[in-house]
Amino acid sequence: MSFSRIGVVGAGTMGQGIAEMLAAKGLEVMLLERTPEKLEQAWEQIEISLDKQLEKWAITPVEKKLILSRIVKETHIHNLAECDMVIETVSEDLEIKKEVFRTLDEVCRPSIILASNTSTLSLTELAAETQHPERVIGLHFLYPVSKIHLVEIIRALKTGEDVFEATRSFVEETIQKRGIQVYESPGFVTTRLICVLINEAMHALSERVASADDIDNAMRIGYDFHYGPLEMADRFGLDSILAAMERMFREFGDVKYRPSVLLKQMVRAGHLGTKTGHGFFRYDKDGDRI
């Protein structure tokens, strides 16, 4: 199976990153959002990301124009019918995702692979909403998408072998990232492990073991992390971390997945990280640390 046109449903942080990365790999991307206003906001963020790369001489002005020219802004889901694959990246809300998959199943021909970027939800449950559950698979990209060369390829209960092989080929050959095969389990591998680390960092902060800066520096410098766990949480979105922790706590019933009280307080206060400009650290409108 060849891939040339990819649909991306949801133009939030992950949708923007995935669309930009796919376009940079030479693929045509149809980026879908419910309103033109949200699409324009996403477009601005993609331009900001590309401009930052321009400043570092990572790309040229011509490459920037080419990448943007490959991204088509869409507000009508029916226009994704001719894509070779559709990747869903809407918020981690099971009912919203189910609705998206029901609609995609209706408008996309049976040969089109339907993938979800979910980090904690059940692919099998999403696939059950469709008439062709064998074509549903998980593609969990990590933030920041352009820099992290790993993708979790998650098999739902009824994912077809041919769909898995085609998806693995897409990941490793078309977009040239490393794919790991994961069988469905809450949090898969990356979310399950990183959320426990982030949660423990919050416990250490609330117990005044060290400052937020020193906790992050300990892991960033000592263990070669790109971001420390607290800044990582800010960039993921503290509300997203809380939702993931609560879901894994319900599923596993293990206290190690119980969210830190500090995390709950931050979310209740509306300090969600880069998306609000204030989390464990402060950020400007471009998402850079102040």
The annotation places the binding site at 49, 56, 119
Q: Which residues contact 272 (CB under 8 A, 6 or more apart)?
A: 237, 238, 239, 266, 278, 279
152 a catalytic residue: yes
Choosing from 20, 33, 88, 152, the catalytic residue is 152
Q: What's the rounded Cα separation, in Å, for the pair 51 and 47? A: 6
Cα gap 219→201, rounded to integer Å: 10
What are the φ and ψ backbone dihedral angles of 185, each rounded to 5 degrees? -160, 145
Handedness of CA 93, 177, 189, 17 (dihedral sign): negative
Residue 88: which residues within 8 A CB-CB, separation 6 or more? 9, 10, 97, 100, 101, 104, 114, 115, 116, 117, 118
- What does the block give as tokens for 37? 């206003």
Of the candidates 69, 78, 89, 81, the residue with the CA atom closest to the CA atom of residue 28: 69
Q: Which parts are annotated binding residues for CoA?
A: 49, 56, 119
Of 96, 133, 95, 97, nearest to 113 by C-alpha is 133
Catalytic residues: 152
